[in-house]
Structure 1
């Protein structure tokens, strides 16, 4: 098994859109109405929106490849690109998704470590993320990786309000 990380550029937009839609749908289709899911997918992952995000110098996207196939991706934000005002010494992990067929191989941990290394290289004091309160598998993973709950915020899946737990990890 070979793994490698690739920092995304504008040339990766269509691949980014494809994996974003695929992994988000895999993760949340069974717990949400198809109307709410499609409304979110159309808003969050349309090409214009993704182009804006990739061009933002305060955001970075990374693909993880397993045996030369894109297996997942990571999006991190700093400063004003963060979805919540957490300060200039924080890095947000906005998205971390692994395709279903690649789960269970430690790729999530690999991407999480990439985010932490990115934060440390920028002298950040903490990394944080929002995770749906009903995503018990992800919450357990993050807590195992040293994150603690420090708050909660609203997340909208289409018109439907859901609650994300805000989890934070302090860096040394």
Structure 2
């Protein structure tokens, strides 16, 4: 997929399935996006602790080695710098799930690309990948205080299916669990 993103200063972005060698790029985007999104919202120590484990290259390498995980990376055409990614996995959410359910575990873009259409393109890739895997429903968790993300998912047809407490560092935060039939 090619996307023209002129407002951000990035001319073209391509999305492709990840390769095993993409773990460091996923780590970079994951840490940057998490910090951009939650600095000033969550405690700094919680952000740092979360990134040390959940946004470590080793975490992504493990996911990339698994057959039941699907990952896509968005890269700026000039220099192939990573600017976003999406991860689809088996569901690990505190709501009833069954055969045919998958989870959109992560969908991140760099802050300057918010509103550019890149998030929608990554979601489209994840939805198509989930359908190809035989999924009938896609679920996700979103921080209850992230109004921008909640509005994005609502526009894409996701509705609330439950709630969860999500551990980030030493603190737990309220998340909404959303679902969409495919």
- Give the alignment's TM-score, normalised by structure 2: 0.87
Q: Give per-residue Cα distances to partners, 1:54-95, cap 9 Å, x unaligned.
A: 1111112111124444221101113xxx32362220121010
Cα pair distance change 1:83/1:37, threshold 3 Å: same
Matched, 1:164 2:169: no
State the match for 1:47 in structure 2: 57
RMSD: 1.4
Task: Give 1:35 deviation, angstroms.
Answer: 0.7
Runs of at least 4 residues off by over 3 Å: 66-69
1:6 is the counterpart of 2:16: yes
Matched, 1:63 2:73: yes
The answer to whether 1:116 aligns with 2:116 is: no
Aligned residue-pair number: 168
Aligned to 1:72: 84
Per the alignment, residue 102 of structure 1 pairs with: 113
Match of 1:138 in 2: 149
CA–CA distance in structure 2, aligned partners of residues 66 and 11 of structure 1: 17
1:30 aligns with 2:40: yes
Q: Which has the higher helix share?
A: 1
Q: Could you report, residue by residue, the CA deviation over 1:109-152 in whole angstroms, capped at 9, with x for unpaired residues?
A: 11111111111112211111000000011001100111100101
What TM-score, normalized to structure 1?
Answer: 0.91
In the alignment, what sits opposite 2:92?
83
